[in-house]
Each structure stands twice: as C-alpha cells, then as structure tokens.
Chains A and B, each alone.
Chain A
Amino acid sequence: MSDAATPKQVEVVNVTIDGKAAQVPKGTNIIEAAKTIGVEIPHYCYHPHLSVAGNCRMCQISVKGMPKMTIACNTGATEGMEVSTHHTSKDVADAQAATLEFILINHPLDCTVCDQAGHCKLQDYHFEYNARPSRFVEEKVHKIKAVPLGPTVMLDGERCIMCTRCVRFCDEITKTSELGMLNRGDQSVIAVSPGRELNNPLSGSVVDLCPVGALTHREWRFNTRIWFTKQTESICTGCSTGCNVKVAERDGTIVNVKARRNDAVNKEWLCDEGRYGFERFLPANRITGAYRKGPNGGREDVQLGDVINALKGTLKTLTVLLSPDLLLEEYYLLKQLLNRATSVGRGVITSYKRSITPLEQILVSPDYASNINGARVVGLVGEESDGDYRDILQKIRRKEIENILILGDRAIAPQDIDDALVEGLAAARVSVGVLTDADSKLTSSLGMVVGGRSVLEKSGLLVNANRRLQYAQAVVQFPETTVPEWRLLGLVGEAAGYKMLPVNLMHVGDRELTRWYLGSDPVMSAQGITIATIKDGGVQLSATGKDASVGTQSGLSMGAAPAA
C-alpha cells in the first residue's frame, strides 16, 4: 500500500477500532485500517485492487454517530472515527450472521462435490461468523451449472454469490469486459455475451478472485480435495515478473496454481501461460544419474566423480552456458568459482526475448528468463547478454571452444540447436551438461550429462525484472539420483582446490545453500537479509548501478510487504 500512497503527503488520521488506536492515511477504508492493527473484517466482494462494489454486505461495522450500520469497504477513515466491529458490537455480529444466512439462501451447499471446499470463504465465514442452520425451507432457485465461460474457466451459477469480483476484474484490470451480470434479483447470473468467451491472457485470475466455488479452472476440476495436497508458497518461473504463487501438489503432479498477493509484484494476478503451464518445467522423460557418450554412439553410466574429474582441470577456460532460471546462489557460486580460478572463461545466458501484447503487459515480462537479473546482480553477465550468448554459440559452431559446461535445459534455446552447434559441442574437448529432459536434442550431443533438477524442484533466490529478491520454494520432490547445479559447481571447486561452501556438499539441501549465500555475499549480509525476511513479500534491491556487482555496497532497501 505505502508505495503508492506515501509520495503525496496524505493526512494521517487517528481512528479507534474496537477500542484499539490506529493511524492511517485519511480516506483509507476501514477494512484496510483494521488490518493494520490485526483486526479482520470479513468480506466477499471487496478486493484491494478492484473498485468498491459494496454488494455482499459482509463487512458491516458500526460507526459512532452514524445512525445505521455501514459497510467497512466503502467507509473512509476520518479523524476521531470510532468503529465497532463484530468483536465488540453484538448488533454487527448479528447483522453479519444474518447477511451470511441470506447469502446462503440459494447456495446449493454442494460442498461435498465442490472444488472450493476447504478453501472457500463461505465455509470459513459460516464457521466463524454464523455457524447456525439455515431457516430457509423453500425450494432454492436453480440456475445454470457447469457452463464453460471460455477455454479456461467453468461457471457454476448456483454457487455464485454475485460479488462481481470477476466482472470488475475484466472491466478494470484487463479492460476486456467479457463478463457481465444478467437478469436481476435472485435470478442474477454471471455470463459472457453469446458468441463471445472469456479468453484473455489473465483469464484464470477470476478463479482466484472468486471467493466461492462458482468459477473453477477447467484444467483442474474435480482432481483432488485441496486438503490432500501439499501447498507451497513459491514464485512462478515463467518470465522475469516473478509472480507470487501458491502451488498445490499431489503425488508429484501439480493440481492447482493460485496467485499469492504481493502488491509490489503481481498484486493478486497471474497469467494463464504461467498458471496452466506451471508443469512445463517437469519433463516427462527425466535424466537420472550421469552418463557419457560411449563408443559407437552408445551411452555408458559414469559416477559423479568422473564428471568432476573431467571438469576440474578446465576451470581456467571454462565457458558456461547458463539457463536463465538458475538460482541466484548458483550464479554467485559460479562467479566465485571463476574468480577463484582466475578464469578467463565466462558465463553466457539468453533472455529468451519475446514480444508481448498490450494486454499481457499488465503482468508479463517480455522474456522467458525468470532469474536473468540474478545473473546480472552477481555480475556474471551484463545487461545485454544475448549478444554474448550468440557470439559463444557461433564460436561453438566454429569449433573454437574447448571446454563447455551447460547448466540447465534452457541454457540453449531449442531454435538455436542446429547441426553445426551439435557438431561443435561434440567436438569440444570437455562438454558437460546438467540437464533434466532426456528428450532434448542437447542430451545426445554432449560428452557427459548429469541428471539435474527442474526449477520446480529447487528452493532458492530469484531476482525479478524490477530487481526484487524473492524466495522460491520447491513445489515438487526431486528424484533422488539428481544433482543440483550448485552441488556440481561446489564439488568441482573443491576438487580444484577452491573450497567455497564450508559444508559437506553431499549432505546439505537448498536451504543451507541459501543461508550460506546470504551470509557470504557482502551485499546481503550487510543488510542482515535472511530467508524469513525475503519470504514475506521479497526484498527490493537498489536500482542504482545497473551492473551492481557483488561486494558493492550499493545499498538495499527493505520493501514494504503487506500481508495478504
């Protein structure tokens, strides 16, 4: 909130909510004002990034001096305002319970088959604010069910409580206005115009916004109950926007992806490409273990030690092709390794530049490189890295490069892998790849391949397009025999006599690596940044010094991270 509100000097007023004092900018609505002192006011239709509709009536409060109850979402804080919520006013509590009973009158109560059950605001609030049986004995109104609104979203008209969040999202955020509310009264129903559909790059966001089970993802309907899933708060690695997500996983399959609120990054939106494509980083055919090219084009298994031995003598001239979605720690570790070995080798990276439509610009960054800024922050590559990347590919094609290490499947774009490149890679003295996808063209051209980990299997730091440092958590379990890039780098360093991580690399996980990084990079350690501080909305790195390298005390500012 504060980022947008503070530049102009807004008058700060004192309000009392349930007897507790709060200081908020004048005009702040009471839901947000109450949040600042830890009082939750229930609401359905209100969303901090959408206009105020005021139709659900759940956020009723009592304000001293006002004759009737009012809705908190549409009441701006003024000096001396005294507010009673359901915690202190029985009238308010009764009104909320009655409102909830009213909202539930025509609700089908089909929780047993509803995907929203378990993360449904109707369930939550009924438990918390009403918890009494309905007195409605008449026939409920029947409406349309299981109507696809477009390629991504399915509507159940009966479950809908007409909060219109989805309508306002399409009107105000995407400005595509596909959705509307037809009919009136108890017959109201959300719909698209005949002959048109809800089909925009952010369309799945309306499902996140839906406080009940009315809108569901066509992709993930009826796959599992949410309480059987492992839910992880992570970061989308589709592009460098770094949207905050909550990923639900069951039995190694991603069964739901939900946007997580972060006002400094993605508000509470997520693009369809990122959401429905989340699992694209898990290849169907995995490389496990390590192997090298054998005679006659065959493969023979090798030990990790063989790979390390092959690499340890190459550090001085090693060319490293980096995926733009490796962890910040891995870029840092590589930079340290090359520095320590006084290497003339280097890392190159592609940003997977792409053009995006004006609608995608709301959220999407014009690249497929979630952590390319991480490589820039540690000084491994410059701002214009694509030129270097293309130069190196040309050199490989001309067979001018002897020692090549490829970290991650996306280090070389599929369209760049031509016959000349494959020949060039095969001709290199040492060519090692840490890869996951057994079907990629790269695997067959390299001298040695080590089964690596997908970005979804690693926890660590990412720096987004706006230089915000965020912590991504692994959302699925990695196969036991795979080796993360950082471990290989560390082991190669140790073998070459540069021990960088003061731990036994074979027995630590990503978390220890991150803690080691935060402690040893002077930029991070000087600011006392810990995983805990990053996890709460991320930390804004200073924008000064475009190529801010490690060790420069260019300064960090802790970004305000409002709680969701």
Chain B
Amino acid sequence: MTDNVQVFHINTRATSAKTEPLKVSAEAQKRAQEIIAQYPQKRSAVMPLLYIAQEHTKYITQSAVEWVAAQLEMPPVQIWEVATFYTMYYKKPIGQYHVQVCRTLPCALRGARKVSEYFHKKFGVQPGEVTKDGMWSFEEVECLGSCGTAPMCQINDVFFENLTDEKLDQLVARIEKERPDLRYSTVKDELGAGLAGSPKSEIMKS
C-alpha cells in the first residue's frame, strides 16, 4: 500500500464542461439560508453547507460545489480547497460503511498500519475503493483527534478505539450482522468504546 490517501486530482482536460449547481430540496435551501444568516460573512458557512450538499449527493460532486459557491458567492475553487482539505467530505462514492483509519503519528506509532492492512485484507479493496457489494470502503486519513486511544478508526461518523485484530474481527462481524445506522452519530457507539459526537447534520436537527 503506497499511495494511501484519497487524493483529489482534477484533470481539467477531462472535466472542462461547466456544471449547473445542484438542485437541493426546499427544506435544505431554507436551512442553508438560516445558517448563512448566522455569520457576519457568508463564506463562514462553507462547512455546514458542504454537509448539506453531501447529504444530497452522498459525496462532493462538481455540482455540489457549484451550489455551495453560488449560495456563498465564493469562487468554486475555494470550496474545493475546503472540501479536499477535510476527510469528512467524501470526494468519491463511498460504501454503506466507510472506514477511515487514522494514520497520523500517535496512531502510526501504536500500529495504525496494521489496522489499515486489516481492512485491506478483509475486504480486498485498496484505499479509496468500494467493495463490490457496496457495503464497505476504507481510506487512511490524518488525525481524527483521538490520539489517547490510538490506534483508532472512524466508521461513518462513529469512533472505534484501542483497536486490535481481535477487536476489529468482532466489530466487522457485528456490523455485518446488525447493520447499525452509524450515520451522523445518531446511534451511540454501542459497538466500541468510542466517543459519541453531536449530530453533524444541520438538516437532521429539525
């Protein structure tokens, strides 16, 4: 495993066509305006709006970026800058369960590479790929802020920590059997000893 990050490469020759902005639901459009109104500068709302767009398109597409750019009156490339900087915005289609393995120093020292290799072997996919059944995808990401419990991974929006091969076996087996909803952290981390975040989605609040 060498090139182990999802790198967003733009090929201007292949994508020279301009894309129309995404059409979002009326509810999402209203919510976007409410979020924008919270900030003195429109551009401050870039991250929540990217989440809204991602909920519509499942991953950040060109039309999603154009929509955010139009809402915030920002150059689209600056939306791409944010979207490609953060790993919680997906630049490619992901599986139903998207595993993000932290590979930054503390996790690396505690065996993150082994965790990565576990998923690689288990699902037979390279970082950034989705299994044929669309169930799993995984990638390596930078620090997820859980260094004290390294090595760790995030599946959808839930942390799983102090990982060992045995623990990973249990985890994968339970997820495949129970198919829990790990999106938006709406389900507490009942499977591992992880942290439970607040709902990410501004839409889901309402």
Q: Which residues of A contact B (CB under 8 A)?
A: 139, 142-144, 147-149, 176-185, 187, 189, 191-197
Q: Does B9 contact A (CB under 8 A)?
A: yes
Q: Does B57 contact A (CB under 8 A)?
A: no
Nearest B residue to A177 via CB reads B75
The residues of B that contact A197 with a CB separation of less than 8 Å are: 12, 16
* Contacts across chains A and B counted by CB atoms under 8 Å: 77
The residues of A that contact B17 with a CB separation of less than 8 Å are: 195
The residues of A that contact B79 with a CB separation of less than 8 Å are: 193
Say whether B84 contacts A183, CB under 8 Å.
yes
The residues of A that contact B184 with a CB separation of less than 8 Å are: none
Contacts A180-B80, A196-B77: A191 and B85 contacting too (C-beta < 8 A)?
no
17 extra A-B contacts, CB within 8 A, seeds A144-B9, A182-B81, A192-B10: A139-B2, A178-B75, A182-B8, A182-B10, A183-B5, A184-B84, A184-B85, A193-B75, A193-B76, A193-B77, A193-B79, A193-B80, A194-B10, A194-B62, A195-B62, A195-B76, A196-B18
The residues of A that contact B76 with a CB separation of less than 8 Å are: 193, 195-196
**B10: contacting residue among A176, A185, A191, CB under 8 A:** A191
Say whether A187 contacts B81, CB under 8 Å.
no
Say whether A191 contacts B142, CB under 8 Å.
no
Nearest A residue to B86 via CB reads A184
The residues of A that contact B62 with a CB separation of less than 8 Å are: 194-195
The residues of B that contact A191 with a CB separation of less than 8 Å are: 10, 12, 77, 80
The residues of A that contact B3 with a CB separation of less than 8 Å are: 142
Cα distance, A179 to B80, chains bound together (Å)? 10
Cα distance, A270 to B174, chains bound together (Å)? 63
The residues of A that contact B84 with a CB separation of less than 8 Å are: 182-184
Say whether B77 contacts A187, CB under 8 Å.
no
Nearest A residue to B62 via CB reads A194
The residues of A that contact B78 with a CB separation of less than 8 Å are: 177, 180
The residues of B that contact A177 with a CB separation of less than 8 Å are: 75, 77-78
- Nearest chain A CB to B116's CB is how many angstroms away? 17
Cα distance, A139 to B4, chains bound together (Å)? 13
7 tightest A-B contacts by CB? A180-B77, A177-B75, A193-B76, A194-B15, A195-B18, A193-B77, A182-B84
The residues of A that contact B10 with a CB separation of less than 8 Å are: 144, 147, 182, 191-194
Per-position binary interface string of chain B over residues 50-91, scored 1 when its CB falls under 8 Å from any chain A CB and 0 otherwise: 000000000000100110000000011111110011000000
Say whether A195 contacts B19, CB under 8 Å.
yes
- Nearest chain A CB to B4's CB is how many angstroms away? 11
Contacts A183-B7, A194-B12, A196-B18: A178 and B142 contacting too (C-beta < 8 A)?
no
Q: Does B25 contact A (CB under 8 A)?
A: no
Q: Does B121 contact A (CB under 8 A)?
A: no
Q: Does B206 contact A (CB under 8 A)?
A: no
The residues of B that contact A147 with a CB separation of less than 8 Å are: 10-13
Q: Which of B7, B11, B76 has the most CB of A within 10 A?
A: B7
Cα distance, A191 to B78, chains bound together (Å)? 10
Say whether B9 contacts A192, CB under 8 Å.
no
Say whether B19 contacts A192, CB under 8 Å.
no
Say whether B12 contacts A192, CB under 8 Å.
yes
Instruction: Tally chain B residues at the interface, Cβ within 8 Å.
Output: 28
CB proximity to A under 8 Å, residues B10-66? 10-13, 15-19, 62, 65-66
**A148: contacting residue among B13, B19, B66, CB under 8 A:** B13
The residues of B that contact A193 with a CB separation of less than 8 Å are: 10, 65, 75-77, 79-80
- Nearest chain A CB to B31's CB is how many angstroms away? 25
CB proximity to A under 8 Å, residues B82-120? 84-85
Say whether B16 contacts A185, CB under 8 Å.
no
The residues of B that contact A196 with a CB separation of less than 8 Å are: 18, 76-77
- Nearest chain B CB to A175's CB is how many angstroms away? 10
Contacts A194-B15, A195-B19, A195-B62: A184 and B142 contacting too (C-beta < 8 A)?
yes
Nearest B residue to A175 via CB reads B75
- Nearest chain A CB to B204's CB is how many angstroms away? 27
The residues of A that contact B81 with a CB separation of less than 8 Å are: 180-182
Nearest B residue to A182 via CB reads B84
Say whether B80 contacts A182, CB under 8 Å.
yes
Q: Which of A139, A142, A194 has the most CB of B within 10 A?
A: A194
The residues of B that contact A142 with a CB separation of less than 8 Å are: 3
What are 22 A-to-B residue pairs whose CB atoms are below 8 Å? A143-B9, A147-B11, A148-B12, A179-B77, A180-B78, A182-B8, A183-B85, A187-B7, A191-B10, A191-B77, A192-B10, A192-B12, A193-B65, A193-B77, A194-B10, A194-B15, A194-B80, A195-B15, A195-B17, A195-B18, A195-B76, A196-B76
Nearest A residue to B69 via CB reads A193
The residues of B that contact A179 with a CB separation of less than 8 Å are: 77
The residues of A that contact B16 with a CB separation of less than 8 Å are: 195, 197
- Nearest chain A CB to B157's CB is how many angstroms away? 21
- Nearest chain A CB to B78's CB is how many angstroms away? 6
The residues of A that contact B12 with a CB separation of less than 8 Å are: 147-149, 191-192, 194, 197
Q: Which of B2, B65, B78, B79 has the most CB of A within 10 A?
A: B78
- Nearest chain A CB to B19's CB is how many angstroms away? 5
Cα distance, A367 to B84, chains bound together (Å)? 43
Cα distance, A185 to B103, chains bound together (Å)? 13
- Nearest chain A CB to B8's CB is how many angstroms away? 6
- Nearest chain B CB to A129's CB is how many angstroms away? 29
Cα distance, A149 to B80, chains bound together (Å)? 15
Say whether A180 contacts B7, CB under 8 Å.
no
Say whether B11 contacts A192, CB under 8 Å.
no
Nearest B residue to A186 via CB reads B5
The residues of B that contact A195 with a CB separation of less than 8 Å are: 15-19, 62, 66, 76
Nearest A residue to B11 via CB reads A147
The residues of B that contact A178 with a CB separation of less than 8 Å are: 75, 77
Nearest B residue to A179 via CB reads B77
The residues of A that contact B2 with a CB separation of less than 8 Å are: 139
Say whether B85 contacts A192, CB under 8 Å.
no
Cα distance, A184 to B6, chains bound together (Å)? 11
Nearest A residue to B87 via CB reads A184
- Nearest chain B CB to A198's CB is how many angstroms away? 9
Contacts A195-B17, A195-B19: A180 and B9 contacting too (C-beta < 8 A)?
no
Cα distance, A247 to B145, chains bound together (Å)? 53
- Nearest chain B CB to A139's CB is how many angstroms away? 7
Nearest B residue to A150 via CB reads B12
**B75: contacting residue among A143, A180, A187, CB under 8 A:** A180
Q: Which of A181, A182, A187, A192 has the most CB of B within 10 A?
A: A182
Cα distance, A196 to B75, chains bound together (Å)? 10
Cα distance, A196 to B65, chains bound together (Å)? 12
Contacts A177-B77, A193-B75: A185 and B142 contacting too (C-beta < 8 A)?
yes
